[in-house]
Structure 1
Amino acid sequence: MRGTGKADIFVMLAHPVGHAKSPGIFNEIFEQKGLDSLMVPLSCRPEDFETFWAGITAAENIKGVIISVPYKNIVYTKCSGGHDRAVRVESANSVRRLPDGTWYADNFDGVGFIDGLKAGGHQIAGKRILQVGAGGAGSSLLYCLAEAGAVEIRLADLDVARAETLAAMVRKSFPDCRISVGAADPSGMDMAINATSAGLKATDPLPMDVSKLTPDMTVVDIIMEPAETALLAAARKVGCRVQPGRPMMDFQVEAMSRFFDIEHRGSNDV
Structure 2
Amino acid sequence: MRGTGKADVFVMLAHPVDHAKSPGDFNALFEERGLDSLMVPLTCKPADFETFWAGLTAAQNVRGMIISVPYKIAVFEKCSGAHDRAARVNSANSVRRLPDGSWYADNFDGVGFIDGLKAANRQIAGKRVLQVGAGGAGASIAYCLAEAGAAEIRLNDIDASRAAKLAELVGRAFPDCRIAVGPADPRGMDIAVNATPVGMHAGDPLPLDVTGLTPDMLVVDIIMEPAETALLQAAEKAGCQIQRGRPMMAFQIEAMADFFDVDRKDRGNG
User: Which TM-score band (shorter chain)?
Assistant: over 0.9
What is the CA-CA distance between 1:264 and the residue it aligns to? 2.4
C-alpha distance in 1, partners of 2:58/2:265?
22
Q: How many percent identity over aligned positions?
A: 73
Give me the whole-angstrom Cα distance separating, in 1, the residues matched to 2:232 and 2:48. 35
8 Å CA contact 1:9, 1:63 repeated in 2: yes
Q: Deviations over 1:143-163 (max 9, x none)?
A: 000011111100000111111
In structure 2, the partner of 1:103 is 103
1:15-94 counterparts in 2 under 5 A? Answer: 15-94=15-94
After the TM superposition, which parts of structure 1 deviate over 3 Å for at least 4 consecutive aligned residues?
Answer: none
Aligned counterpart, 2:162: 162
Q: 1:263 aligns to what SS in structure 2?
A: coil
Report 1:1-270 matches (<5 A).
1-264=1-264
CA contact (8 A) 1:14 1:71 kept: yes
TM-score of the aligned structures, taking structure 2 as reference length? 0.96
Deviation at 1:51, TM superposition (A): 1.6
8 Å CA contact 1:12–1:22 kept in 2: the answer is: yes
Query: How far apart, CA to CA, are the structure 2 residues paired with 1:44 and 1:203?
Result: 27
- Paired with 1:185 and 1:260, the residues of 2 have a C-alpha distance of 39
Mapped to 2, the partners of 1:29 and 1:265 lie a distance apart of 16
Q: Which amino acid aligns with 2:263?
A: E
Give the superposed CA RMSD.
Answer: 1.2
Give the drift of 1:265: 5.9
Q: Tell me, in whole angstroms, the C-alpha distance in 2 between the residues paired with 1:141 and 1:30.
A: 28
Q: Is the 8 A contact 2:35 2:263 kept in 1?
A: no
Q: Secondary structure at the match of 1:262?
A: coil
Read off the aligned partner of 2:97 and give its amino acid letter: R
Scaled by the length of structure 1, the TM-score of the pair is 0.96
Deviations 1:231-269 (A, max 9, x none): 111111111000001111111111111000012269xxx
- Supply the distance in 1 between the matched residues of 2:13 and 2:265 (Cα, whole angstroms): 22
Return the alpha-carbon distance in structure 1 between the equivalents of residues 54 and 264 of structure 2: 28
- The amino acid that maps onto 1:262 is V
Inter-partner Cα distance in structure 2 for 1:55 and 1:264: 24
Amino acid at match of 1:252: Q
Separation (CA, whole Å) in 2 of partners of 1:203 and 1:74: 31
Q: Which amino acid aligns with 2:191?
A: M
SS in 2 for 1:172: helix
| Alpha-carbon contact 1:35-1:265 (below 8 Å) kept | no
SS at match of 2:11: strand
The amino acid that maps onto 1:200 is M
Given the superposition, is the C-alpha separation of residues 115 and 218 from structure 1 closer, same or farther in structure 2, using an over 3 Å criterion? Answer: same
Deviations 1:150-198 (A, max 9, x none): 1110000011111111110011011111101011111110000000111
**CA offsets, 1:19-44, max 9 Å, x none?**
11110111011111221111011112
In the alignment, the residues of structure 2 paired with residue 265 and residue 175 of structure 1 have an alpha-carbon distance, to the nearest angstrom, of 39
Classify the secondary structure of the residue corresponding to 1:137.
Answer: helix
- Whole-angstrom distance in 1 between the partners of 2:191 and 2:110: 16
Q: 1:203 offset after TM fit, Å?
A: 2.3
1:233 counterpart SS class? helix
Match for 1:107: what amino acid? N
Query: Contact (CA 8 Å) 2:132, 2:194: kept in 1 or not?
Result: yes
Give distance in 2, aligned partners of 1:223 and 1:51. Answer: 31
**Matched residue type, 1:29:** L
